[in-house]
């Protein structure tokens, strides 16, 4: 191990889900040098929709159209929710910064600043969310206005039935139809995967073939919905080309993860962060973190054995919950996987933090002066039910990075 040279930086970010990516962006944008690592990351399980807050209280299943009013209600009732440690202006600023960055990388998002938006899902439900990829945005309006709409599904794509979506709106959306197509040149394939189709559509040739199959089905419809396969990247180009060929607007419907919109987010962050100088180790875990005599952190990273040592002034834990591997449960205990070797008996699983997003020690004070945490690893968040996953990741990353910057000054 002694021959391993350490990589020095201001901030080491553990985790490559949305919280880790957001933290890396905020840190780089504030002039900090950043090393980031993570395995595949929860981000590929992302739906592509960026929630802010949809439901509160969970027990009443109350849906909110104004997410900001919902946040007021949430932090009043659950004072330990991570949102309670942020000003609303900060959450807004964090979203603005993330969406501007994604726009720069070519992944445009749309939203109504003060309102949640309903998006049609492959199950036939309407999902309440906040920021929506441009690929799905036209579908939002079609759903609202109950436009003459054709849903096209694909033979061999499991878990996506146009008939199911049409049946879901049987009594309220009379101009909704469905049709099934074979994806061009897939006769030799029985099972179709969204990622492969999205990749194929990067070629104009395949877009022409797809449009050739879809166009005759359009008839009186004024808009077409397809599963989320419209280009792995370059979605503006892919969709406008298809729209030109088919003659009417086209939108995507999110599919079950791991899905193409999740892959697009991962790719956009990785590419954009590289340009901002973030040093990123993919498929790499933090194996051990220890504090040095100088008050720095020494993080050993690698796939299985130590490959590099990162020497940083601060660390942000954005390693997720159980899926991401940030938390682990055995039969009796839940523990944080990197720094906590003992485990705790806790039921609202996650890390308790102070106002500067620093995990707490038993004493009630921060465990380390410059160890921070962000994203779903934080206690009390319940993102899946209150629908705040992306907002939580983005806003707490913003809070953690800013707290670190204040500390450095």
Q: Which residues of the shown chain bind other proteins in the complex (CB under 8 A)? A: 45, 47, 49, 54-55, 61, 63, 121-128, 156, 158-161, 163-164, 167-168, 170, 180, 190-191, 254, 256-257, 321-323, 328-332, 383-385, 387, 389
**CB of 335 within 8 A of CB of 328?**
yes
Please identify, using beta-carbon distances, which residue of 339 and 390 lies nearer to other proteins.
390
Other CB atoms closer than 10 Å to residue 354's CB: what's the count? 15
Q: How far is the CB of 61 from other proteins (least distance, A)?
A: 5
Cα distances (angstroms) measured from residue 229 to each of 89, 152, 156, 157: 35, 12, 14, 11
Please tell me whether residue 311 adopts helix, strand or coil conformation.
Answer: strand
Evaluated on CA atoms 383, 386, 390, 393, the torsion sign reads negative
Judged by CB, which is closer to other proteins: 170, or 304? 170
Residue with Cβ nearer other proteins (137 or 297):
137
Tokens of 181: 């197509």
Q: How far is the CB of 270 from other proteins (least distance, A)?
A: 22
**Counting Cβ atoms within 10 Å, is residue 328 exposed (0-12), middle (13-18) or buried (19+)?**
middle
Q: Is 49 helix (H, G, I), strand (E, B) or coil?
A: coil
Nearest in space to 280 (alpha carbons), one of 47, 4, 11, 5: 11
Least Cβ distance, residue 126 to other proteins (angstroms): 8
Tokens matching residue 107: 């992944």
Toward other proteins, which CB reaches closer, 82 or 272? 82
Residue 72 neighbours by CB distance under 10 Å: 14
CB of 259 to other proteins, least distance (A): 9
Nearest CA among 151, 114, 143, 145 for reference residue 130: 114
Q: How buried is residue 88: exposed, middle or buried, by Cβ count under 10 Å (0-12/13-18/19+)?
A: middle
DSSP 222-234: SEEEEES-S-SS-
Residue 228: alpha-carbon gap to chain centroid = 15
CB of 390 to other proteins, least distance (A): 10
Nearest approach, Cβ of residue 210 and other proteins (Å): 21
- Closest distance between other proteins and the C-beta of residue 20, in Å? 17
Q: How far is the CB of 10 from other proteins (least distance, A)?
A: 32
Could you tell me the CA-to-CA distances from 371 to 45, 107, 299, 314 in Å, in that order? Answer: 27, 31, 12, 6
CB of 256 to other proteins, least distance (A): 6
Q: Closer CB to other proteins, residue 163 or residue 380?
A: 163
Show the tokens assigned to 108.
């445009």
How far apart CA 92 and CA 401 sit, in angstroms, is: 15
Nearer to other proteins, 115 or 384 (CB): 384
Nearer to other proteins, 159 or 295 (CB): 159
Shorter beta-carbon distance to other proteins: residue 331 or 409: 331
């Amino acid at each position: 191990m002694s021959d391993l040279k350490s990589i020095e930086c201001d901030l080491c970010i553990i985790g490559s889900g949305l919280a880790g990516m957001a933290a890396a962006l905020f840190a780089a944008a504030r002039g900090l040098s950043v090393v980031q690592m993570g395995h595949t990351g929860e981000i590929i399980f992302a739906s592509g929709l960026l929630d802010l807050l949809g439901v509160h209280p969970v027990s009443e299943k109350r849906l909110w159209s104004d997410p900001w009013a919902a946040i007021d209600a949430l932090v009043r009732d659950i004072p330990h929710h991570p949102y309670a440690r942020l000003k609303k202006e900060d959450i807004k600023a964090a979203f603005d910064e993330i969406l501007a960055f994604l726009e720069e990388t070519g992944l445009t998002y749309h939203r109504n600043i003060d309102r949640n938006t309903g998006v049609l899902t492959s199950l036939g439900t309407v999902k309440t969310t906040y920021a929506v990829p441009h690929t799905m945005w036209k579908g939002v309006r079609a759903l609202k206005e109950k436009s003459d709409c054709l849903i096209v599904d694909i033979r061999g794509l499991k878990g996506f039935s146009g008939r199911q979506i049409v049946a879901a709106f049987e009594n309220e959306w009379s101009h909704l139809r469905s049709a099934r197509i074979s994806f061009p040149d897939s006769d030799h394939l029985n099972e179709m995967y969204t990622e492969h189709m999205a990749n194929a559509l990067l070629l104009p040739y395949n877009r022409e073939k797809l449009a050739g199959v879809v166009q005759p089905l359009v008839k009186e419809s004024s808009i077409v919905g397809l599963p989320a396969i419209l280009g792995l990247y370059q979605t503006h180009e892919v969709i406008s080309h298809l729209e030109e060929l088919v003659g009417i607007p086209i939108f995507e419907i999110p599919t079950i993860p791991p899905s193409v919109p999740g892959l697009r987010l991962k790719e956009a962050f990785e590419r954009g962060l590289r340009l901002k100088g973030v040093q990123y180790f993919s498929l790499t875990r933090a194996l051990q973190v220890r504090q040095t005599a100088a008050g720095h952190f020494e993080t050993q990273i690698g796939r299985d054995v130590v490959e590099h040592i990162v020497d940083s002034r601060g660390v942000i834990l954005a390693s997720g919950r159980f899926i991401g591997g940030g938390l682990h449960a055995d039969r009796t205990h839940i523990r944080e996987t990197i720094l906590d070797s003992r485990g705790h008996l806790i039921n609202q699983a996650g890390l308790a933090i102070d106002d500067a997003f620093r995990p707490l020690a038993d004493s009630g004070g921060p465990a380390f002066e410059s160890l921070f945490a962000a994203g779903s690893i934080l206690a009390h968040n319940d993102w899946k039910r209150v629908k705040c996953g992306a907002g939580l990741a983005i806003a707490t990353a913003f809070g953690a990075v800013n707290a670190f910057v204040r500390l450095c000054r």
